């Protein structure tokens, strides 16, 4: 069995941390080769880290955090909410969609909109996806 892989693939925490690395890299405008060169790794290794296929060692995560100028804890932000159920499959993370520059920018800009405009943007996205309205009571 490959490191970082369970019966059903990479461990959810490895995938979560890898996704946070990917999101931060993209938001700072770096590509996988840039990060790889800074760490003395290939872009293929960075791909494996970001997908959670290979676990990121503590020392590499430390190096990544220094390169991005963030605290190591940044890569675990948002994970604490699901900590009680970490052993459970899925543990409450949503990371099955690709992190792209556009999804990251949408995520960053949406909170700056009024609640009404956020609903309009959500309706527009749902309409483009032809997804039924699952309106929440918020």
Do 68 and 32 share a structural domain? yes
Residue 38: give its domain's CATH number: 1.10.260.40
Query: What total number of domains does the chain contain?
Result: 2
Q: Between these two residues, 61 and 83, which has the higher pLDDT value?
A: 61
In sequence order, which residues have a C-beta less than 8 Å from that of residue 62 and are 6 or more positions away?
A: 72
pTM for this predicted structure: 0.62
- In which domain, by residue range, is 47 found? 12-75
The average confidence (pLDDT) of the chain is: 80
**Res 66: pLDDT:** 96
* CA within 13 Å, CB half, 104: 15
**Res 62: pLDDT:** 97
């Amino acid at each position: 069995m490959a490191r970082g892989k369970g019966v059903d693939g990479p461990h959810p925490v490895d995938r979560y941390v890898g996704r946070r690395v990917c999101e931060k890299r993209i938001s700072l405008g770096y590509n996988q080769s840039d990060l790889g060169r800074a760490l003395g790794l290939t872009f293929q290794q960075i791909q494996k880290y970001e997908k959670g296929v290979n676990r990121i060692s503590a020392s590499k995560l430390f190096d990544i955090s220094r390169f991005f100028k963030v605290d190591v804890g940044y890569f675990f932000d948002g994970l604490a909410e699901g900590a009680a159920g970490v052993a459970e499959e899925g543990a409450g993370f949503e990371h099955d969609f690709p992190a792209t520059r556009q999804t990251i920018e949408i995520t960053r800009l949406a909170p700056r909109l009024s609640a009404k405009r956020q609903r309009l943007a959500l309706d527009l996205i749902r309409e483009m996806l032809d997804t039924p309205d699952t309106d929440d009571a918020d």
